[in-house]
Amino acid sequence: MTTSASRKVALVTGSTDGLGRAVARSLAASGFRVVIHGRDTRRGEDLVREIFGLGGSAQFHRADFASLAEVRGLAQTVAREHGRLHLLINNAGIGTGEGAGRPAPRRTSADGCELRFAVNYLAGYLLTRLLLPLLVRSAPARVVNVASAGQYPLDFDNLMLTRAYSGMRAYAQSKLAQVMLTIDLAGELRDSGVTVNCLHPATYMDTTMVRHAGVAPVSSVEEGTAAVMQLAVSPELEGRTGEYFDGLLAARANAQAYDPQARRRLAQVSARLAGLDPPGSS
């Protein structure tokens, strides 16, 4: 185990670029040992060197979230290498894929799931489930899911969007699924010392994802970072759980997020796709 006993540990997925990278730097400056995750080893190791150069502490672990086997590997590595986890920020994701007038083609993950659902939601679902015992042992701890105000109701008869595919719809339903997971986990973990919240960090931040979609940025990465950091470390949010924030303010998500039956169906499908025991089976 490489963790210094004097530092809390934070895992930020998708932290080699954009919002995740900025959040990782901020957490390191706040005294966390930051576990950096991404697909690009060079960028990950560059960020680790940058953080150490500023007096912080970090370690990089590579995993491709289009593969549930690699998600499982990441969870095992984090538990083995760090032994504690006080903060999990599920930030990794891919955008709508639409830009310059070109519609996004439907693509699938290594496990055969629609790619945006797999990367933006299912990978984070599995990672969080696998790391829950570590988070509970490390409590007080927090989980922050980086969702979006762009939300589209899930059609459970066409969840993988084999019909009427749209990259925007795929992205938006994956983000609503994150909100639904947040509410479920918050209820499940109540009284455990682990809180779970989610947010829309800022609208069209100046990131690679936004520029790739052909959208002119209207917000800064710094605005999004401030919103994520509030949920991650603010003493004022201690004990608050199961909430959705729009930037710095508590807000309401799409109505389906508050439908227990819809959340139950999502939980059942998610467990099956991720190869976990169905809800309530233990």
Instruction: List residues with catalytic annotation.
Output: 171
Q: What whole-number distance in Å separates Cα of residue 53 and Cα of residue 48? A: 9
Structure tokens given for 188:
């499940």
**Cα dihedral sign, 172-178-179-180:** positive
Number of H helices and E strands in the chain, helices first, is 9, 8
The helix (H) or strand (E) run that includes residue 53 is helix 41-53
Could you tell me whether strands 249-251 and 244-246 are parallel, antiparallel, or unpaired per DSSP bridges?
antiparallel
On whether the CB atoms of residues 197 and 241 are closer than 8 A, the answer is: yes
Helices (H), 85-166: 115-116, 123-138
On whether the CB atoms of residues 162 and 115 are closer than 8 A, the answer is: no
124-to-10, 144, 174 alpha-carbon distances in Å? 15, 11, 11
69-to-64, 162, 212, 270 alpha-carbon distances in Å? 9, 24, 28, 15
On whether the CB atoms of residues 263 and 184 are closer than 8 A, the answer is: yes
